[in-house]
Amino acid sequence: MESITPRQREIVALARAQGRVNVEDLAARYEVSAQTIRKDLNQLCDQRIMSRVHGGALVASGVENLAYEARRFIAREEKAAIGQAAAALIPNDASLFINIGTTTEEVARALSDHHGLLVITNNLHVATLLYPHQNIEVIVAGGPVRRSDGGVIGAAAVDLIRQFKVDYAVIGTSAIDEEGALLDFDYREVRVSQAIIENARQCLLVADSTKFERSAPVRIGHLRDVDVFVTDRLGPPPLRELCRSEGISVVETETLNGATLHAESES
């Protein structure tokens, strides 16, 4: 970051702390024009330090994920809508896996009114959300707990998951490339996610559209490995064509004036 200005350095630090930055907020903070901030962000993006998103930017790291609390700020409303839409696809009296992620947490939050569920998870946040509900049984995978996000990772978690064959898997991912690869940052977490996909009868991928703008180094699998993709907005046209050709059912959600709209595309 040798060639960036002190203000740009602060903008990067803010993005790491908050998950993303907004042009208008930055303009007010530094008492400069929105055009000046856009120039700052464009320069940071040219150096691949940040990635532009609608109205602002986020840190562009292909090797290190953002802090968990910061990720919660990114696309918060979109994730809540995705969670509600995904939960609506899961019937009562079903068994399911839920993996690590802020979007899968939103699915868990939206499942609280279901009954007769068996939930196996390697996400301590999901377990905390669901275990108080008497009509939902929760099993937590064993193994080392990743301090950064409460994820349970490693061989013991994989072994427990392989003891089950469930109705649904609800998985998140850190990035999706234009070829449909599902990507993440920690190979130990990826092994757990792969076991989850392999041992579920139907797989639901939940990911907001910022995942199309990110990169990560470890491959979980491919979009063709999932049955339903729930997102706020499907990404580049090649992905839409890929979903159509592979028979993946796509559910797109939009948040408009506080009302959540759901639409399922033809697969």
Convert the pLDDT of each residue in 112-145 to its tens digit: 999 999 999 999 999 999 999 999 999 999 999 9
Q: Give the DSSP letter of residue 123.
A: B
Distances in Å between the Cα of 63 and the Cα atoms of 38, 183, 184, 185, 188 are 25, 11, 9, 6, 14
For residues 46-72, average pLDDT: 67
Say yes or no: domain 71-264 is CATH 3.40.50.1360: yes
For residues 19-46, average pLDDT: 90
Domain boundaries, the chain: 6-60, 71-264
Full strand arrangement of the beta sheet holding 200-206:
136-140, 117-121, 95-98, 166-171, 200-206, 228-231, 249-256, 259-264
Q: Among the residues of 19-101, which ranges form H helices?
A: 23-30, 34-46, 68-73, 76-88
Q: Which fold has domain 6-60?
A: Arc Repressor Mutant, subunit A (1.10.10)
- Residue where the block lists tokens 């907020």: 25
Q: What pTM, to 2 d.p., does this model score? A: 0.75
